[in-house]
Amino acid sequence: MGSTGFIIISIVTSLLAFCLAAWLYDWVKKQPSSNSQILKVSSYISQGAATFLNKEYRVLAKFCGVVAALILIFIPVPIWKGSFLLNLQMAIAYILGAIFSAAAGKIGIAVATIANVKTAEAAQKDIRHSFLCGFRGGAVMGMAVVGASLLGVSLVFLLTDDTTILLGFSFGASSLALFAKAGGGIFTKTADISADLVGKVELGIPEDDPRNPAVIADNVGDNVGDVAGMGADLFDSNVASMAAALVMGAALDQTMGGSKNVSMVFCYAALGLLASIIGVATARMGKNDNPTFALNSSTYVTTGIFAILTAVATAIFGLEWRIWGASIVGLLVGVVIGIASDYFTDDRKKPVQLTANASESGPAFTILSGVSYGFVSTLPALVGIGLSALISYKLCEPLGMDYALFGISMAAVGMLSIVGMIVSNDAYGPIVDNARGLAEMGDLGDDVLEITDSLDSAGNTVKAITKGFAIGAAGLTVIALLGAFISEVNVAAVEQGLVAVGEKYLNGFDVMDPAVFFGMIVGSAIPAVFSAMLMLGVNRNAQRMVSEIHRQFREIPGLKEGKEGILPEYDRCIELATAGSIHELIPAGLMTIVATLLVGFIGGVKAIGGFLTGNIISGLLLAIFMSNAGGLWDNSKKYVEAGNHGGKGGEAHKAAVIGDTVGDPFKDTAGPSINTQITVVSLVASLMSGIFLMFSLL
């Protein structure tokens, strides 16, 4: 079977994922919901999330329009030197990538704001039914994200047969994801920090107390940050991994003849989605009533199904077993990184418990413990990413040097093969978190709160695993994109007559070359500056919201006392978080793109190689550190709230809340946005490679 056959199979599998998503959406929507207070609060959340997304997408539409115009003029080569049609295709592919990514977020919000109501009310029946509502709500997002990414890549490649245009599609997805993740992260943490500081620390009222003016904004933030933002992020990672593998696979096919390598990319991607479809459709909570076990076992089952299906396909279609091995290495390392993240963030493990114990001595010790364990947690993840790249490289090296880098790209495809299940588990988290808040605001009773707390705790644990998985996958993807950058430079060098056909302009990068070293130093600083800009945005926005909460408690008679019929002005906090996050989201993302362009025009393609290398290493370290430290602080707070070390209201609790407040922008704003930032600069570098060859100072 040729590559066209595998592309058609990929399209059919994508459509199957959409069918399952539609069925799941319908199933969730049909579940009963009758509590008027919950429906009223849910409408606030739904309207707030829709308002934010609409405003954010309007701003991003203008940004994407400007970028598309620049692509039309300059990429892949300036329009006056190249082909107008090629540049037009590139601009259209970029716009399509952004539209697909935005649609994934929109679908996720639509189902999440319904599923949280159904999950809360289903908890009145039993935990299994409530779990199923939350998981299937998240699975709609999972199926939509992966179905859309595979469908988009398949259609672009089928219609153009041009991997450079595919990079344009990936850049559209990545640039939208960068701003969506950053904007959603700023929104959600603005509300979360403000609600916690005033509600828990100052007034000692419960987390989801309806008297708190920021409580609805906090619930809106869970959706726009953890559902829409994470969906766009993993959509981007999945598209980028396939694009990088197809760039190198197509180059190999041109050299070797045939289409075996391109076929392998589409075959494994389609089987990964099929494995996720089977995993999602069969996921249930067992008799032990343990939601964490149910979520994790679904991931492991999906992993096993993928390994078996790809082995069978490799044997039937005569594909290369070494490449299959590289894919399985990537998949297994993804699971290992997730388990390592789980160890440092699960409240049943020592790091969380020791941090909670340190909280008895005050918030300084809470912060010191979290920072320390966060740094330690980077080692197993980074070793895992490094080993997977090394093993994949060495495994495929006997096939030829170009196959070695292709092996790394296929390890990334393997790691992201079960991303449908990963997104489902990740979107489950904010759905059950919102359900817990709705159960409290709807006064459904302590038994329901106990069930939703159990589901929420599982969501927090699994969310740490999925974030570790997403960062690990991004690490392998950007290493593969570094290989794609080298391929693009070599193609452009031949076209510009810098080297003869068959020769290579770049084989790698010498770190002792001053241009490479310059790029590496600058590139390593970008993730830190990017993170600082996002967290300062949260800081400024949260300070404004805290002032607004104080104003409402001061000026609205009876609000603090909880008099019947007295409600806060929820919409003021939602408007404040929306305006602030949209104002803050553009500068940080724009800085990373401008920095890439400056390094390229100053130092050329060698400096860019160093820039990408430094950016990858520094970015992965910071992303893993912030994600795990934030998750650890969050679960330390929950561990104290469960009655340990004095329980709610004690000194340890106040210190743990402060730790969680610091960790919030770590784990939900800066940390998960960094991997998208790395992908964006890698794609900018690949798309601009021909121009950097033409114009640079060095």
Task: Please list, in sequence order, all residues whose beta carbon lies within 8 angstroms of the beta carbon of residue 532, skipping any fewer than 6 positions away.
Answer: none
**How many C-beta atoms surround the C-beta of residue 47 within 10 A?**
15
Q: Give mean pLDDT, residues 188-213.
A: 82
Most distant pair of Cα atoms in the chain: their distance: 81
Give the pLDDT confidence of 355-375 residue by residue, as tens digits: 999 999 999 999 999 999 999
> Residue 140 in contact with residue 25, Cβ under 8 Å?
yes
- Cα separation of 384 and 330, whole Å? 9
Give the pLDDT confidence of 153-184 residue by residue, as tens digits: 999 999 999 988 999 999 999 988 888 888 88
- Cα separation of 491 and 246, whole Å? 15
Round the average pLDDT of the chain to a whole number and report it: 89
Closest CA to 485 of 262, 681, 263: 681
Backbone angles phi, psi at 693, to 5 degrees: -65, -35
548: three-class secondary structure by DSSP:
helix
- Cα separation of 217 and 223, whole Å? 10
Note if the pTM is more than 0.95: no
Q: Which two tokens stand for residue 343?
A: 């160890």
Q: Give mean pLDDT, residues 512-537.
A: 96
Closest CA to 469 of 342, 378, 334: 334
- In this prediction, residue 207 carries a pLDDT of 67
Residue 287 has pLDDT above 70, yes or no: no
Task: Please list, in sequence order, all residues whose beta carbon lies within 8 angstroms of the beta carbon of residue 33, skipping any fewer than 6 positions away.
Answer: 39, 117, 118, 121
Q: Which two tokens stand for residue 516?
A: 């490479």
Q: In which band, very low, low, confident or very high, does the pLDDT at 134 lie, cut at 50, 70 and 90?
A: very high
Question: From its phi and psi, is residue 502 left (phi > 0), alpha (psi between -120 and 50) or beta?
Answer: left
**How many C-beta atoms surround the C-beta of residue 26 within 10 A?**
10
204: three-class secondary structure by DSSP:
coil
Secondary structure letter of residue 123 according to DSSP:
T
Q: Is 58 exposed, middle or buried (0-12, 13-18, 19+ CB in 10 A)?
A: exposed
Question: From its phi and psi, is residue 87 left (phi > 0), alpha (psi between -120 and 50) or beta?
Answer: alpha
Closest CA to 147 of 103, 94, 89: 103
> Residue 410 in contact with residue 245, Cβ under 8 Å?
yes
Q: Which two tokens stand for residue 684?
A: 């900018």
CA separation (Å) from 307 to 330, 530, 666? 11, 37, 34
Cα-to-chain-centroid distance, residue 48: 22
Q: Give mean pLDDT, residues 625-644.
A: 90
- In this prediction, residue 177 carries a pLDDT of 87
The DSSP annotation for 519-535 comes to HHHHHHHHHHHHHHHHH
- In this prediction, residue 617 carries a pLDDT of 94
- Cα separation of 661 and 671, whole Å? 15
Q: Which two tokens stand for residue 685?
A: 């570098």
Give the pLDDT confidence of 429-459 residue by residue, as tens digits: 889 988 888 888 888 888 888 888 888 878 8
- In this prediction, residue 289 carries a pLDDT of 66
Q: Give mean pLDDT, residues 555-584.
A: 87
- In this prediction, residue 1 carries a pLDDT of 67
Q: Is 422 exposed, middle or buried (0-12, 13-18, 19+ CB in 10 A)?
A: buried
Give the pLDDT confidence of 648-697 residue by residue, as tens digits: 888 999 899 999 999 989 988 898 889 889 999 999 999 999 899 988 98
Percent of the chain predicted with pLDDT > 90: 47
Q: In which band, very low, low, confident or very high, does the pLDDT at 529 lie, cut at 50, 70 and 90?
A: very high
- In this prediction, residue 464 carries a pLDDT of 66
Spans of all domains in the chain: 3-31+49-448+461-694
Among 98-107, 129-138, 312-321, 471-480, name the one with the lowest average pLDDT.
471-480
Secondary structure letter of residue 213 according to DSSP:
T
> Residue 627 in contact with residue 338, Cβ under 8 Å?
no
With b for 16 or more beta-carbon neighbours within 10 A and e for fewer, the 642-673 pattern comes to eebbeebeeebbbbbbbbbbbbbbbbbbbbbb
Closest CA to 250 of 241, 263, 239: 263
